[in-house]
């Protein structure tokens, strides 16, 4: 679909420059609303996720392209959690005057993440503001969506990837130190686990969540939604080199997946996706809670990330 | 669908309070993404619209409920412009600490507008920020959507309602004066023209836009998208009592509809919808522009609203 022409004005000039740069990463922009098609038999999956300067990132910590990528990948990660096929995304951007020169670089990061997920940018809105704010609406489709509900007693808890990188990077950045490159990459350039999620859904995963609030907090969401107890063995949680267990349990914004399922074949998963899959616990009947052990000892879990507490 | 349970935390407490207040205005919140169904044969229509404190409104000008209503109605208005049936909406909210006590009142306004449009709140995101920001994603469906493209030479240009109220109200508010109640109501409590748009679409409207940037600017959008000239007779533009012609031509945020069509029956429209419908000009072949006359004299049109210019 061609983009509709836009009338004159500075706001539209800025949008036009963005659209020109996006090229075929964008589709059908410029009308009051976007038109998309949901295949017959599939459900529409939709989520919105907002990244705010000084809440989710600081200007000096990331390049503008990374801010755009990260905000977009974080939103797309919610589609992965539902095992959805990407359909399209919308970008609502509040741009303070001091960020206007970085608008195209921010947009390039958004487009790069959209291309990674093979989903077009189909709409958006730009306004002023005091803090750079990127609010991404992501649309997908799924014939058999996963959710947080569905974990059954006897299931195994799995997690993708190695955790702790974003938290370790953020700790270093907050101290004015240079984070390890591997930690920084996990913070600046998360890759939504779309294909991994579909692999897991096709092999019987019963519940899934993307780890955005921290592993401990997100497992609590599954426990609450599924009305089960999750028994986590913290000694099994796969750590990125150089991070602490606390980084891996409490750190948000991992954008890895936690899933429950009957027994899976981690080697087959890794062969298919290039990503580690690790069993980290079991589901049992009981109160909606997460219980943790380290070896044989019971341990307390950290609280999760909470934007209103910061 | 029942809402999924959420884990503990202050952010989730605030969300839980909102959801409890929303009651059946919200559906299926609490998973990573919402699930919706698009009827077979219909297309998905989706748009995002953001309202930012001090850009689109000032705190002293509107009650929190009105801010929630207005932001939501403004977004839903984009569905009306496409003649879509509402499906659901998502609210991305950035709430500075000084607004936390008003969160439930803001949410009540969002829910009231959602109920008015008979669309459930199906998802959202809350973060901190420095300026209250409401970003609304609206989803609808349409078998025969209208767009800005489609105006044909020989069509008549129509507008719904009486214009100028929001601009006159904003002028008074900016001067610290009390706006006329009828002007203030048009600013604080716009009603998206959903049923009106479907009436127009069913009777052959060829292009439509909601007047959010100002009549002159929005007609330019139709001219640009349809590659036609729009000949506007400014003396025919229906004015609310006590507003200036400039209010009606340049004032944004009307959320009335401008449409092009073969001849329509304004009396039948008013009988069906309770809303005025007025012919204000004609479409002709030619450059993609809007030409204006007042009686027989050619007049210049004002520029439209442009957030980045303010």
Please state, in angstroms and rounded to a whole number, the distance separating the CA atoms of residues B212 and B215: 8
| Residue B5: band (very low, low, confident or very high) from pLDDT cuts 50, 70, 90 | low
Q: What is the pLDDT of residue A239?
A: 98
Give me the domain span that covers residue A126: 10-142
On whether ipTM exceeds 0.90, the answer is no
**Contact: B94, A149; criterion CB under 8 Å:** no
Residues of chain B with C-beta less than 8 angstroms from the C-beta of A139: 44, 46
Number of domains in chain B: 2
Residue B7 has pLDDT above 60, yes or no: no
Does B135 map to a domain?
yes
pLDDT tens for B197-224 read: 999 999 999 999 999 989 999 999 999 9
User: How high is the mean pLDDT of chain B?
Assistant: 92
Percentage above 90 pLDDT, chain A: 79
Q: Do B138 and B161 share a domain, yes or no?
A: no
| Strand, coil or helix: B234 | helix
If one compares B164 and B12, the residue with the highest pLDDT of the two is: B164
Nearest residue of B to residue A123, measured between CA atoms: B47
Residues of chain A with C-beta less than 8 angstroms from the C-beta of B50: 92, 94, 125, 127, 135
| Strand, coil or helix: A222 | helix
Does B74 map to a domain?
yes
pLDDT tens for B217-274 read: 999 999 999 999 999 999 999 999 999 999 999 998 999 999 999 999 999 999 999 9
Percentage above 90 pLDDT, chain B: 79
Q: What is the pLDDT of residue B15?
A: 78
Sign of CA dihedral A248, A251, A257, A258: positive
Q: What is the pLDDT of residue B138?
A: 97
| Strand, coil or helix: B124 | strand
| Strand, coil or helix: B250 | helix
Does B150 map to a domain?
no
Q: Do A193 and A267 share a domain, yes or no?
A: yes
pLDDT tens for B49-64 read: 999 999 888 999 999 9
Average confidence (pLDDT) over B275-292: 97
**Contact: A307, B135; criterion CB under 8 Å:** no
Q: Do B138 and B231 share a domain, yes or no?
A: no
- The two tokens of residue B202 are 């069913």
Contacts of B175 (CB under 8 A, 6+ apart): none
Residue B305 has pLDDT above 90, yes or no: no
Q: What is the pLDDT of residue B304?
A: 53
**Contact: A55, B127; criterion CB under 8 Å:** yes
Q: What is the CATH number of the domain that holds A90?
A: 3.30.1330.10
Average confidence (pLDDT) over B2-22: 70
Q: What is the pLDDT of residue B87?
A: 97
Residues of chain B with C-beta less than 8 angstroms from the C-beta of A33: 45-47, 78-79, 81-82, 84, 138, 140, 145
Residue ranges in B23-119 assigned as alpha helix (H)? 64-81, 103-116
**Number of CB pairs < 8 Å for A and B?**
268
Q: Do A177 and A135 share a domain, yes or no?
A: no
Q: Do A128 and A206 share a domain, yes or no?
A: no
**Contact: A309, B40; criterion CB under 8 Å:** no
Q: What is the pLDDT of residue B296?
A: 86
If one compares B6 and A66, the residue with the highest pLDDT of the two is: A66
Segment holding B24, helix H or strand E: none
Smallest Cβ–Cβ distance between A40 and the set B40, B218, B309 belongs to B40
Average confidence (pLDDT) over B184-194: 97
Q: Do B138 and B160 share a domain, yes or no?
A: no
User: Which of A5-9, A126-130, A290-294, A304-308 is least confident?
Assistant: A304-308
**Contact: A81, B33; criterion CB under 8 Å:** yes
**Contact: A48, B221; criterion CB under 8 Å:** no
Q: What is the pLDDT of residue A33?
A: 87
Residue A7 has pLDDT above 60, yes or no: no
Q: Do B34 and B162 share a domain, yes or no?
A: no
Residue B115 has pLDDT above 90, yes or no: yes
Please state, in angstroms and rounded to a whole number, the distance separating the CA atoms of residues A176 and A186: 18
Q: Do B124 and B61 share a domain, yes or no?
A: yes
Q: What is the CATH number of the domain that holds A173?
A: 3.90.650.10
Structural domain ending residue among the three candidates B113, B142, B171: B142
Smallest Cβ–Cβ distance between B10 and the set A34, A138, A308 belongs to A308
Q: What is the pLDDT of residue B8?
A: 56
Average confidence (pLDDT) over A131-155: 96
Residues of chain B with C-beta less than 8 angstroms from the C-beta of A135: 48, 50, 92, 125, 133, 135
Q: Do B197 and B290 share a domain, yes or no?
A: yes
Does B3 map to a domain?
no
Smallest Cβ–Cβ distance between A307 and the set B37, B127, B209 belongs to B127
User: Between helices B103-116 and B10-22, what is the axis angle to 10°?
Assistant: 40
pLDDT tens for B117-145 read: 999 999 988 888 899 999 999 999 999 99
Residues of chain B with C-beta less than 8 angstroms from the C-beta of A38: 38, 44
pLDDT tens for B62-111 read: 999 999 999 999 999 999 999 999 999 999 999 998 998 999 999 999 99
| Residue A9: band (very low, low, confident or very high) from pLDDT cuts 50, 70, 90 | low
Does B181 map to a domain?
yes
Smallest Cβ–Cβ distance between B48 and the set A30, A90, A306 belongs to A90
Smallest Cβ–Cβ distance between A32 and the set B81, B122, B307 belongs to B81
Query: Cα–Cα–Cα angle for B138, B144, B149, nearest 5°?
Result: 85
Residues of chain A with C-beta less than 8 angstroms from the C-beta of B40: 40
Nearest residue of B to residue A218, measured between CA atoms: B7
Residues of chain B with C-beta less than 8 angstroms from the C-beta of A142: 35
| Strand, coil or helix: A253 | coil
Residue B10 has pLDDT above 60, yes or no: yes
Q: Do A228 and A196 share a domain, yes or no?
A: yes
Structural domain ending residue among the three candidates B94, B112, B142: B142
pLDDT tens for A18-52 read: 888 898 899 877 777 899 999 999 999 999 999 99
Structural domain ending residue among the three candidates B142, B173, B198: B142
Does A201 map to a domain?
yes
**Residue B308: DSSP 8-state:** G
Distance of residue B203 Cα from the nearest chain A Cα, in angstroms:
20
| Residue B1: band (very low, low, confident or very high) from pLDDT cuts 50, 70, 90 | very low
Residue A284 β-bridge partners: A229
Q: Do B165 and B287 share a domain, yes or no?
A: yes
Smallest Cβ–Cβ distance between A32 and the set B38, B125, B210 belongs to B210
Expressed in percent and rounded to 5, the helix, strand and coil fractions of chain A are: 35, 25, 35
If one compares A55 and B272, the residue with the highest pLDDT of the two is: B272
Residue A305 has pLDDT above 70, yes or no: no
Average confidence (pLDDT) over A191-210: 97
Q: What is the pLDDT of residue A61?
A: 94
Residue B306 has pLDDT above 80, yes or no: no
Q: Do A101 and A170 share a domain, yes or no?
A: no
Distance of residue A122 Cα from the nearest chain B Cα, in angstroms:
9
pLDDT tens for B223-237 read: 999 999 999 999 999
Does B87 map to a domain?
yes
Does B149 map to a domain?
no
Percentage above 70 pLDDT, chain B: 93
Please state, in angstroms and rounded to a whole number, the distance separating the CA atoms of residues B199 and B242: 29
């Amino acid at each position: 679909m061609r983009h509709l022409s836009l009338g004159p004005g500075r706001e539209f000039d800025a949008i036009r420059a963005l659209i020109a740069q996006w090229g075929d990463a964008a589709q059908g922009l410029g009308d009051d609303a976007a038109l998309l098609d949901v295949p017959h038999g599939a459900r529409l999956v939709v989520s919105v996720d907002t990244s705010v300067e000084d809440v989710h990132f600081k200007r000096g910590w990331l390049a503008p392209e990374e801010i755009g990528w990260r905000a977009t990948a974080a939103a797309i990660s919610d589609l992965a959690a539902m095992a959805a096929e990407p359909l399209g995304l919308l970008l609502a951007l509040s741009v303070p005057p001091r960020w206007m020169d970085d608008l195209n670089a921010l947009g390039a990061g958004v487009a790069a993440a959209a291309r990674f997920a093979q989903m077009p940018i189909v709409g958006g809105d730009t306004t002023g503001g005091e803090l750079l704010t990127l609010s991404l609406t992501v649309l997908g489709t799924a014939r058999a969506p996963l959710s947080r509900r569905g974990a059954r007693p006897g299931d195994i808890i799995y997690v993708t990837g190695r955790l702790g990188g974003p938290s370790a990077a953020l700790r270093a950045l907050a101290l004015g130190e240079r984070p390890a490159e591997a930690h920084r990459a996990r913070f600046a350039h998360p890759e939504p686990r779309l294909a991994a999620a579909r692999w897991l859904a096709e092999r019987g995963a019963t519940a899934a969540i993307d780890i955005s609030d921290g592993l401990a907090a997100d497992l609590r969401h599954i426990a609450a939604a599924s009305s089960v107890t999750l028994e986590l063995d913290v000694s099994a949680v796969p750590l990125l080199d150089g991070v602490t267990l606390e980084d891996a349990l409490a750190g948000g914004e991992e954008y890895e997946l936690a899933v429950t399922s009957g027994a899976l074949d981690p080697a087959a998963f890794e062969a298919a996706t290039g990503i580690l899959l690790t069993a980290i616990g079991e589901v049992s009947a009981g109160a909606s809670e997460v219980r943790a052990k380290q070896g044989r000892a019971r341990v307390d879990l950290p609280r999760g990330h909470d934007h209103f507490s910061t």
